[in-house]
Amino acid sequence: MEGSRSPQSRQLLVSVVMPVFCEGAHLPVLIADVRRSLEQCNLPYELILIDDGSPDNSWQVITAEAKAAHALRALRLSRNFGKEAALCAGLQHARGDAVIIIDADGQHPPSLIPDMVRLWQNSGADIVEAVKHRRGRESLSSKFGAQLFYFILNKLSGFHFKGASDFKLMNRKAVDAWREMHERNVFFRGMTVWMGFNTVQIPFEVVPRSAGRSTWSILKRLKLALIGITAFSSFPLHLVTFAGVVFLGLSVLLGLETLYLKLAGRAVSGFATVILLELIIGSLLMISLGIIGEYLARIYEEVKGRPRYLIEELIEPGEANQNSDDSSEG
């Protein structure tokens, strides 16, 4: 296919970025599906796989795939840095005029790739975002949690995130602009919305996982939610100030009432009232400190200036084949 490219098609390269974590069981099938979809686009392409410190055989599978293909670049991170960091690594190494981000669990249908590329070429948009028409099969608590998170984020940030996903195509201008944002606490889908580039949407339905179980625990989801909210809104801090002003007003009124009753000789014991007020104010103080602590934690992580990820091993296109030839000659 590469030898038959026309000069015009050579000007447009499509990169596919795929973070991988414990997906070795079904990865060859998924890579084959992605390649079939890319070949329908009639454009040169590269496939970039990022192993995010998988404890299973994912890296061995990726290495084997790299030996069998010339347009595959593979990165192995030194440990599990998280999906967002793996995405950063992929976007930093993507060279395409269009870069497609797709999950390795098979829930983002590769069959949508040709439609995304055509929509990008015909619309002139900077970003083609695949929006979840249906979320697929998931527990009631997961659906409720996702709806609550996006409701809060929409209200606090002023951006629209409902149905948003990491499955999207970004042109070179959007990728270069995204790479200019260097924060360590990455919320990818929020950052792409924040850029404000011309975006078109294409619906898709989340399909069941090809194999295995999701590694996204409640704790990981909660952490990502906190990063998303604190990264895109300072409203919780303003809420603390607002609550403080309200309670200050109430305390002034209560103080005036208490002073009046004392001077009028009608002061009565208010043990229950005092206890309730102390509980309410104490709870408010602890919540306020927690909110401030979240923002301080984000600042602390940013000022340390550590890299988002560390690469332990890198395979360039054709390199695995070359290494294999060298070892056979020896």
Predicted local distance difference test score (pLDDT) of residue 236: 76
Pairing of strands 14-20, 98-101: parallel
CA–CA gap between residue 187 and residue 229 (Å, rounded): 9
Q: Is 197 within 8 Å of 173 (Cβ atoms)?
A: yes
* Domain formed by 2-217+307-323, architecture: Alpha-Beta Complex (3.90)
Q: Which of 267, 268, 271 is nearest to 279 (CA)?
A: 271
| Token pair recorded at residue 153 | 């984020």
pLDDT digit string (tens) for 131-143? 877 655 556 666 6
| Token pair recorded at residue 290 | 């927690």
**Cβ-Cβ contacts under 8 Å for 304 (sequence gap 6 or more):** 184
Predicted local distance difference test score (pLDDT) of residue 161: 63
**Segments of the chain scoring below 70 in pLDDT:** 1-11, 134-163, 208-225, 228, 231-233, 258, 262, 266-273, 275-276, 279, 318-330
Report pTM: 0.72
The domain segmentation of the chain, as residue ranges, is 2-217+307-323, 235-304
**Cβ-Cβ contacts under 8 Å for 147 (sequence gap 6 or more):** none
Q: Is 54 within 8 Å of 16 (Cβ atoms)?
A: no
Predicted local distance difference test score (pLDDT) of residue 301: 79
Q: Is 14 within 8 Å of 43 (Cβ atoms)?
A: yes
pLDDT digit string (tens) for 207-259? 766 555 655 556 666 666 677 677 666 777 777 777 777 777 777 777 777 67
